[in-house]
Amino acid sequence: MPVQKRTPNTIVPDVTLDAKGFRCPMPILKAKNIIEGLGTGQILEILGTDPVSKHDLAGWCNYAGHTYLGVEEKDDFFRFYVRKG
């Protein structure tokens, strides 16, 4: 599954989850709870500080049938983008 290292500026999330400060597995657990309430094709943006999430979120998306759109690295946190499958 190809993973973008940087997301295009055209991605507009439907919902944003602030998971900064949380370590694995909390960002994924919180994302799972939120994405269950979204409609197919909607986009969840996850703000996080745990670098392990870069690999974990992509794997979770593959397992759960969602599309991992990529990650954008900011000064001190990451912006992950997931499209609900």
Query: Which pair of structure tokens corresponds to residue 31?
Result: 């994302």
* DSSP type of residue 38: S
Active site residues: 24
CA distances from 81 to 68, 69, 70 (A): 6, 5, 6
In degrees, rounded to 5, the angle at the alpha carbon of residue 79 between the alpha carbons of residues 76 and 7 is 120
